[in-house]
Amino acid sequence: AQKVTQAQTEISVVEKEDVTLDCVYETRDTTYYLFWYKQPPSGELVFLIRRNSFDEQNEISGRYSWNFQKSTSSFNFTITASQVVDSAVYFCALSEAGETSGSRLTFGEGTQLTVNP
């Protein structure tokens, strides 16, 4: 069975600090996909990134960066120079390659990030 663990329930930082959100996953598949979604107070989840299991290159998008390490089954997310608008709940998610259409995601419990001014 697949599982996603986000050990950090809540993180609080001061604006401009860097912050890393941890994600550890379990799956028996050799082909799978990892995601990060952001959930602001309005409720809708916003897609941030998808990474397939064959691509271990780190990715940077503006202030966001992701570190994927298959050896430790981790897919961590770093926000550099955090801003108040980054305050939200962040979810890590997993989709196995056998799932039709890729819309069946297994989510972690989420990390509530609060960025204080």
Rounded least distance, CB 22 to other proteins, Å:
15
Q: What number of chain residues touch other proteins (CB under 8 A)?
A: 27
Rounded least distance, CB 82 to other proteins, Å:
22
- The residues, any chain, with a CB within 8 Å of residue 90's CB and separated by 6 or more, are 6, 21, 36, 37, 38, 39, 77, 110, 111, 113
98 neighbors 82 (Cβ within 8 angstroms): no
**Going residue by residue from 17 to 46, which x/- string records binding to other proteins, judged by CB under 8 A?**
----------------x-x------xxxxx
Q: Does residue number 104 form part of the binding site for other proteins (CB under 8 A)?
A: yes
3-state secondary structure of 84: helix
Q: Does residue number 70 form part of the binding site for other proteins (CB under 8 A)?
A: no
Q: Does residue number 109 form part of the binding site for other proteins (CB under 8 A)?
A: yes
93 neighbors 6 (Cβ within 8 angstroms): no
Specify the residue, 15 or 102, whose C-beta has the smaller distance to other proteins.
Answer: 102
Q: Which residues bind other proteins (CB under 8 A)?
A: 4, 33, 35, 42-47, 50, 52, 91, 93, 95, 97, 99-110
